[in-house]
């Protein structure tokens, strides 16, 4: 069976560099923090052009740290797209604040700025824009809405590290942007990891403290923080992968183009729409199907793995049942019934996948 994300092929391709980096750390006696993590953070800043890059233990931790740094309090409200991975909503709710779910745009699957306007109340403190599947949300509009209502803007680039909008890195388009280094994300480690990016030095210092038990100098704790750190081994692995990241993004984009050519001939499928202002990292290659079950069984008989991101709107998740809901969010519900994703990583042979699908049609 073809893997959904071919991490073994990536490892084979990068093996020499990875093994050198791994041995360097394992033989060093330093496994947490230190120069490896500092150098990786410097390289992240160089890559994104951001003043501050702060690594931490996961993308979910990064969101929680960001919300803490932005001063989220119990009872506050935060606007979140209804069609997303759960982390942003989960972190807001865990801090005692209330996620308000806005609908998505039908073409890009991204937060619909017009739909979120009626959700703004005096309790609203911020907006979390999820840059889903690899492309950036309409940040100019979201920024002006945030500015006129005195809200902060948090970007979730867990799937879109390296994506650009109008030639700007998506990491630069919010007060804080987070990413995840979960193994199957476009830039993935061999375990959990995450990072936060901000040009605000005061927020950056607060985030660093929060991720380090609320402390800047040892055993003096100014804030109630936590332990959230990327270990040196993951940093070393990510440094190797970051060097090859742009080449990999190009291959992902090429793969998506080949898929687009093939799938655009089927009137019952909609190929991914990338806003002309955006580049996509293609964290997922996501099609819409009028009859999804038909296409899932075609892929199944062709032995092609598929994924459904996501099968249920956040507002309909059992864990959020106690939250009062105002709207139906029909765009999110429709997407949940229609989407399916295909393998698209830099080491996926999409020609082979297309041949296999042709053979069962
Ligand atoms: C993966 C993901 C996260 C969470 O990242 P972890 O590192 O797994 O905690 C958050 N948001 C989105 C949109 C994601 O896809």
User: 46-59 pLDDT, tens per residue?
Assistant: 999 999 999 999 99
> How far does residue 195's CA lie from ligand 1's centre (Å)?
11
Task: Judge whether residue 305 has pLDDT over 90.
Answer: yes
The Å distance, Cα 85 to ligand 1 centre, comes to 7
Query: Per the confidence metrics, is the pTM higher than 0.85?
Result: yes
Tell whether the model's pLDDT for residue 324 goes beyond 90: no
CA of 186 to the centre of ligand 1 (A): 12
- Name 301's Cβ contacts closer than 8 Å, sequence gap at least 6: 360
Q: What pairs with residue 178 in β-bridges? A: 156, 196
- For residue 359, the CA-to-ligand 1 centroid distance in Å is 35
pLDDT score recorded for residue 327: 67
**pLDDT tens-digit map of 217-227:** 889 999 999 99
1 confidence band (pLDDT: 50, 70, 90): confident
State how far the alpha carbon of 240 is from the alpha carbons of 5, 13, 237, 244, in Å.
18, 12, 5, 7
Ligand 1 centre from 182 Cα, in Å?
7
CA of 132 to the centre of ligand 1 (A): 10
Q: From CA 167, how far away is CA 153, in angstroms rounded? A: 20
User: CA–CA separation, 262 vs 344, rounded Å?
Assistant: 14
214, pLDDT greater than 80: yes
- Please name the residue whose Cα sits nearest to atom 2 of ligand 1: 158
Q: What is the pLDDT of residues 121-150, one digit of tens each?
A: 999 999 999 999 999 999 999 999 999 999
Residue of 185, 190, 195 to mutate, ligand 1, most atoms within 8 A of C-beta: 185
Residue 5 has pLDDT above 80, yes or no: yes
What is the reported pLDDT for 158?
98
Which atom of ligand 1 lies closest to the CA of 180? 7
* Ligand 1 pocket by Cβ (under 6 Å): 58-60, 84-85, 87, 130, 156, 158-159, 180, 182, 192, 194
pLDDT in tens, 22-76: 999 999 999 999 999 999 999 999 999 999 999 999 999 999 999 999 999 999 9
For residues 96-117, give the mean pLDDT. 97
Among 55, 64, 130, 158, which residue has the most ligand 1 atoms within 8 Å of its CB, making it the best to mutate?
A: 158
Which is the closest atom of ligand 1 to the Cα of 62?
Answer: 9
274 Cα: distance to centroid of ligand 1 (angstroms): 21
The predicted pLDDT at position 325 comes to: 72
Q: Identify the residue whose C-alpha is closest to ligand 1 atom 7.
A: 59
Counting atoms of ligand 1 from 1, which one is nearest the CA of 131?
13
Confidence of residue 312 (pLDDT cuts 50, 70, 90): very high
Percent of the chain's residues with pLDDT above 70: 99
Confidence at 232, pLDDT banded by 50, 70, 90: very high
Average pLDDT of the residues of the chain: 97
The whole-number pLDDT of residue 144 equals 98
- Cα 294 to ligand 1 centroid, rounded to whole Å: 29
Nearest CA, atom 10, ligand 1: 87
Spatial contact of 129 and 139, defined as CB atoms under 8 Å apart: yes
Distance CA 102, CA 154 (A): 15
Mean pLDDT of 276-294: 98
User: Two tokens at 77?
Assistant: 């409200």
pLDDT classification of 295: cutoffs 50, 70, 90: very high
Q: What is the pLDDT of residue 326?
A: 64
Q: Is the pLDDT of residue 328 over 90?
A: no
């Amino acid at each position: 069976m073809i893997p959904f994300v071919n991490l073994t092929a990536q490892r084979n391709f990068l093996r020499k560099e990875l093994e050198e980096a791994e041995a360097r750390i394992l033989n060093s006696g330093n496994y947490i923090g230190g120069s490896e993590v500092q150098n990786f953070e410097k390289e992240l800043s160089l890559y994104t052009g951001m003043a501050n890059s702060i690594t931490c233990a996961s993308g979910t931790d990064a969101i929680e740290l960001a919300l803490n740094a932005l001063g989220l309090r119990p009872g506050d409200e935060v606007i979140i797209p209804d069609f997303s991975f759960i982390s942003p909503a989960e972190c807001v709710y865990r801090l005692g604040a209330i996620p308000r779910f806005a609908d998505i745009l039908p073409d890009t699957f991204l937060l619909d700025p017009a739909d979120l306007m009626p959700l703004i109340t005096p309790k609203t403190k911020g907006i979390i824009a999820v840059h889903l599947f690899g492309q950036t949300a309409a940040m100019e509009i979201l920024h002006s809405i945030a500015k006129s209502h005195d809200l902060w803007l948090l970007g979730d680039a867990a799937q879109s590290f390296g994506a650009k909008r109008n030639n700007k890195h998506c990491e630069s388009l919010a007060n804080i942007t987070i990413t995840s280094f979960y193994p199957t994300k476009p830039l993935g480690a061999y375990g959990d990891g995450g990072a936060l990016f901000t040009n605000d030095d005061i927020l950056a210092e607060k985030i660093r403290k929060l991720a380090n038990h609320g402390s800047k100098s040892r055993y003096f704790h100014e804030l109630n923080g936590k332990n959230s750190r990327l270990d040196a081994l993951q940093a070393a692995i990510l440094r190797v992968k970051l060097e090859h990241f742009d080449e990999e993004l190009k291959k992902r984009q090429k793969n998506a183009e080949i898929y687009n050519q093939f799938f655009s001939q089927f009137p019952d499928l909609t190929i991914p729409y990338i806003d002309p202002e955006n580049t996509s990292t293609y964290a997922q290659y996501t099609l819409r199907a009028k009859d999804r079950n038909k296409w899932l069984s075609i892929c199944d008989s062709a032995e092609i793995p598929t994924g459904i991101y996501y099968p249920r709107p956040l507002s309909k998740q059992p864990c959020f049942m106690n939250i009062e809901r105002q709207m139906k969010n029909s765009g999110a519900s429709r997407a949940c019934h229609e989407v399916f994703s295909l393998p698209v990583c830099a080491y996926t042979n999409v020609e082979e996948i297309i041949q296999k699908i042709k053979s069962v049609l």
